[in-house]
A = this chain, B = another copy of it.
Amino acid sequence: MATLLTIGDAAKASGLTAKMIRHYEQSGLLNKSPRTESGYRLYNSEQVNQLRFIRQARNLGFSLADIHSLLELWQNPQRESRAVKQLAQQHLDEIAAKIAELQHMQQILTALSDSCRGDGSPHCHILQQLAKPI
């Protein structure tokens, strides 16, 4: 008994939105799903698993392009785990770079904010620093 879900129910079951699912189909991340006579998309449990896979990968910050690759690897029994790990490692590098960038901003801005009295007077070290010609 293959239970078929409409897009709204598939969305609830996967944690995505119907909008996202249509968008993923549109952008080639998902195969076009079968439709009812009246044109409603229908999803079986295997496709819902795929949607969940996508959601979990999105939660880890993978781009849709990366997820496309991950899905292909997942569905390929001849995959080499090397390829998966490489994608993960590249993504980890990007994450680390973003964290470093944000921490750099955080460090500078914290110092500036600490040196601003934050009262009713116009004097403000933050503005002074931003205005500095360097």
Contacts and interface: CB of A to CB of B under 8 A. Distances in A.
Given A102-B95, A105-B61, A106-B92, A85 B116 contact: yes
Nearest to A54: B130
A79 to B, nearest CB: 5
Contacts of A133: 49, 52
Interface residues of A, number: 55
Contacts of A119: 80-82
Nearest to A48: B133
Given A85-B118, A88-B126, A119-B80, A102 B105 contact: no
Interface of A: 49, 52-53, 56-57, 59-61, 70, 73-74, 76-82, 84-86, 88-89, 91-92, 95-96, 98-99, 102-103, 105-106, 108-110, 112-113, 116-124, 126-127, 129-134
